Structure 1
Amino acid sequence: MGSKIVIFTGGRLGEWALFLANSASYIIGADSGAWFLVRNGISPDLSIGDFDSVTEAQLKQIERGSKQTLACDAIDKNYTDTELAFLKAVEQQPSEIVIVGGLGTRFDHSLANVHLLVQAAAAGIEAVIMDEHNEIRLVTNKLSVNKGDHPTVSLLPLTEQVDGINLTGFKYPLHNATLAMGQSLGISNVLGEKTGHISISSGKLLVIQSKD
C-alpha cells in the first residue's frame, strides 16, 4: 500500500476530521490547521505557513508539538498556506493526498484549493478534498466511487467541456455524454449500486460526493 499524506488546513474543521489522521503516513498542518491538530493531541510531521491565523502563544505550542515547523513571511510569499503544504506533499510523491479543511467561508480559498486537484492529477497522485459533508475528486481518465455515507454524486466540468462521459452503477447512467460549463445535467445523481464507475475521454471533471 502506498503512502497517504493528510493536510489539515484552516477551513471548516471539527471532531469529525480527527479520525483522518489515523490512516495517514504523514501529517501536515497548514497555519491554523496545525493548531487544530496540536490542541487535539496530534503531532504533525510538518507544520507550515505564515501563521497569521494563530496567536504567538499558539505558534509556540505548534512548534513544540510538531516534528518540524516551517514559518514563512506573510507578505513575501507567492502561495497560500494550503498550497505550500500541498507542494511539500507532492515533493514526497505519495500515492494519495487528502486535504481536510480546504473548504470554508472564503470561497476564493475554497476554489483555489479545488484547483490543486489539477496539480495532483498532473503529478499522477490521487487527491481528495474532504469536509463533513463532501468529498471532491478530479477525473481526467476514470474513477470508481463507493456509496458509503455520501449517496449523492454530482459531476461538474472543470474545463470548458468534458467529452465521452460514461457512468455505470448509477441511478441515472450516461453513455458517451458531454458536459459543458454552465450545465446542471450532472448535478445530484445517485449511486444505484455499491460502487459506481466514471470514465471520460477528454477534459477535466469534478466528482463531488455529498450528504446533507
Structure 2
Amino acid sequence: MLQYSPRQDGYGTVLRLHKKGLILTERTQTYRHALVLCDGEKPSVEQLHALRMEDTLVIAADGGGNIGKDWEIRPDLIIGDLDSDDGSWPDVKRLYDPDQDTNDLEKALDYAHVQGVSRITIIGGTGERLDHTLKNLSVMVRYKEAFEGLVLLDNYMKARLISSPFTMSTWTGMKVSLVAASGKVTGIVSEGLLYPWSGQDLIVGHYDGTSNQATGEQVTLRFEEGDLLLIVPLDGQSCRVAQDGQLGHDGPPGHAEQPSAGSIS
C-alpha cells in the first residue's frame, strides 16, 4: 500500500489527485527511472529510444504524448490540464488536473514522486517557448530534493542541479557551463577546468560560468551554498542510459569514460 506523506513545500497535484481518487494506491510495478515527455523541442528518435528502458515509467506531460506518437514511444500515462493533448494513444490512461498554479511538468513530477521513482529524465522541456523553458528550469530547483537524480536534456546539452562536492568524468576540451539557478551560488572551487574557480561567487547578471572547458578526464566542483546547475554537451547529439537508469555521456571517439562519484549521469 502506498503511503504518501507531503513534504514541507507540498506537492499539490498529488494531494488533489488523491482526493479525487485518481492515483492508484497499489503499485503494480516499482520503477527507479521515469522518462517525462514535455511538449517542447522534439528529441531525436535515437535519443528517445535510448532512454526508453525496460524498467522506465514513461509519463507524458500533456502534449508530450504527441512526441511519443511521432517516435512510437507509448507513454504509460498522460497527465496535465490536457489542453495540448491531440488525442494520440486513446488507450493510455489520462489524469486530468486543471490547476493553473502548476505546469504540466510539475504535475508529471508529482505523479512520479508518489509512485516512488528516484531518477527523472526530462526531454522536450526546452525550445519553442522561452517562458516555458525558464519555467521548467525553475521547476527543477523546486524538485531537486524529491529525487536522487533530475536531468533535463535536449538534442545538444544536458543539465542537472548538483550537490557539493561533485565529480564527473570528462574529456579534454569538453564544454562545462555553470549557472546559478536561483540567483547566487557562493564559494565555488574547481579542479580540472581551464578557467578555474577559487572561491568566487556565481551571481546571475554579474558573474557567470558558461563555456568553460575541461582540461582532462575529470572535473570536481565544490561550493558553499546555492542551486548550481551544471550543463554539459551531448556528444554527437546522442545519449545513453547506464544500467542503473542514470544518464551517461559519450565522449569523442576513443574516449573511455571513467567511473566517478556524483557523475552527471
TM-score when scaled to structure 2? 0.68
Aligned partner letter, 1:28: I
What displacement does 1:101 show? 0.5
SS at match of 1:114: helix
Aligned partner letter, 2:144: A
> Aligned partners of 1:165, 1:96: CA distance in 2, in Å?
26
- Structure number with the higher strand fraction is 1
Query: Which of 71, 89, 94 is 2:96 aligned to?
Result: 71
Q: Is the 8 A contact 2:160 2:230 kept in 1?
A: yes
Q: Is the 8 A contact 1:94 1:125 kept in 2?
A: no
The answer as to 2:26 corresponding to 1:3 is: no
Question: Which residue does the alignment assign to 1:25?
Answer: 56
The two structures, once aligned, show a CA RMSD in angstroms of 2.4
Question: Which residue does the alignment assign to 1:147?
Answer: 170
- Post-superposition Cα deviations, 1:85-143, rounded to whole Å, max 9, x if no partner, equal 12112223433111100001211111111112212323253211100011111134333
Query: Do the aligned partners of residues 101 and 146 (structure 1) sit closer, same or farther apart at CA in structure 2, a change above 3 Å counting?
Result: farther
Question: Which residue does the alignment assign to 1:34?
Answer: 65
> Aligned partners of 2:84, 2:76: CA distance in 1, in Å?
20
Question: Which residue does the alignment assign to 1:121?
Answer: 144
> Aligned partners of 1:12, 1:99: CA distance in 2, in Å?
12
Please list every run of 5 or more consecutive structure 2 residues that lacks an aligned counterpart in the other structure. 1-30, 238-265
SS at match of 2:143: helix
Aligned-residue sequence identity (percent) comes to 29
Query: Which of 198, 201, 205 is 2:221 aligned to?
Result: 198
Query: Which of 89, 94, 98 is 1:62 aligned to?
Result: 89
Query: Do the aligned partners of residues 170 and 108 (structure 1) sit closer, same or farther apart at CA in structure 2, a change above 3 Å counting?
Result: same
Q: Is the 8 A contact 2:65 2:85 kept in 1?
A: no
What displacement does 1:184 show? 4.3
> Aligned partners of 1:41, 1:25: CA distance in 2, in Å?
15
Q: Is the 8 A contact 1:7 1:98 kept in 2?
A: yes
> Aligned partners of 2:70, 2:179: CA distance in 1, in Å?
36
Alignment of 1:47-196 (within 5 A): 47-55=78-86, 59=87, 61-64=88-91, 66=92, 68-73=93-98, 76-147=99-170, 151-196=174-219
TM-score when scaled to structure 1? 0.83
Q: Is the 8 A contact 1:151 1:190 kept in 2?
A: yes
> Aligned partners of 2:85, 2:74: CA distance in 1, in Å?
17
What displacement does 1:8 show? 0.7
Aligned partner letter, 1:78: D
Query: Do the aligned partners of residues 126 and 69 (structure 1) sit closer, same or farther apart at CA in structure 2, a change above 3 Å counting?
Result: same
What displacement does 1:185 show? 4.1
SS at match of 1:144: strand
Aligned length: 202
Please list every run of 5 or more consecutive structure 1 residues that lacks an aligned counterpart in the other structure. none
What displacement does 1:44 show? 1.4
SS at match of 2:58: strand
